[in-house]
Amino acid sequence: MRKLLKDQAGVTAIEFALLALPLFVIIMGSMEMGLQIYNKSRAESVVKQAARMSVTGDPSRIGVAGANIDQYVENQLKLTPGTDVTIEKRFYDSFSQVGTPERRISGGTQAPYCFIDTNNNQRWDENPSRNGVGGADDVIDYKVIVEYDTFFPLVTNVITGKDKVRIEAHTTVKNEPFAGNQDAEEQTCCVSAASGNPVTCQG
C-alpha cells in the first residue's frame, strides 16, 4: 500500500488535463479578442472610405440614395457567412446640429410647448438629422454596426453570453460645395395639449 501511495506514474498526464482546459480558453479568448480589435480597425477604415466616396456628390460613385456606398461597405465587412451589416446614413445642414436637440422656446417637456423645427419634420427631435447622403455642404454622419459569428463560439458564449460579436464604426464628414444644396428652412412649431397633440408650424 505504501508503495502504491508513492507511485508518481501518470501525475504529469493528470496535471496537464487539469491545466489544459483553462489554458486553451485563454489562448482562444486572446485570439478572439485580437480578431475583434482587427475587425474594429477594419470597419473604421471602411466607413472612412465610404464617407470619401460620398463627399464629391458624384452619382456614379454614390448610386441611388447611396446604394453603391452601402454595397461597398457590405462587401468589405462580410467577415463571416453569417455577418449582419447595418448602415445608417444621416445628414445635417451644419456641424452645430450634430447631436444637438432642437431648441424649445416655450413650455416644458410635456405639451403644450413650442420648438424650432430644424429638419422640417414637424416634431421635436433630440437628434434633428435627416436620412440619406445629403447635398452640397451638408454634414454626413455614417454609422455601421457589424455583427458576426465568433470563431470560437463556445468560449465567447461562456465569457459574454452571446454567439455573435458586435462592433461599431462611425465618422462625420462635410460634403464638398457641389451643386444641389437644399438646406431645410427652420420653422416654429407648437404642440397642443388637445387630444392627439396636434402640431401647427409656421416659417
8: cell is 508518481
DSSP SS3 for 13 = helix
Q: Do the Cβ atoms of 184 and 120 come closer than 8 Å?
A: yes
- pLDDT tens digits for 90-124? 999 999 999 899 999 988 888 999 999 999 999 99
Q: Tell me, what's the pLDDT at 180?
A: 65
Between CA 128 and CA 113 the distance in angstroms is: 17
Q: Tell me, what's the pLDDT at 191?
A: 95
Mean pLDDT of 184-198: 92
Sequence-ordered list of residues with C-beta below 8 angstroms from that of 74, at least 6 positions apart, any chain = 85, 87
| Burial of 193 per CB tally in 10 Å (0-12, 13-18, 19+) | exposed
Q: Domains of the chain: which residue ranges?
A: 2-100+126-182
Residue 178 clears pLDDT 70, i.e. is over it: yes
Alpha helices per DSSP H over 84-198: 153-160
- pLDDT tens digits for 4-61? 445 555 567 777 777 777 787 788 778 888 888 999 999 999 999 998 888 888 888 8
Between CA 137 and CA 181 the distance in angstroms is: 7
- pLDDT tens digits for 49-95? 998 888 888 888 898 888 999 999 999 999 888 899 999 999 999 99
Give the position of cell 447631436.
Answer: 99
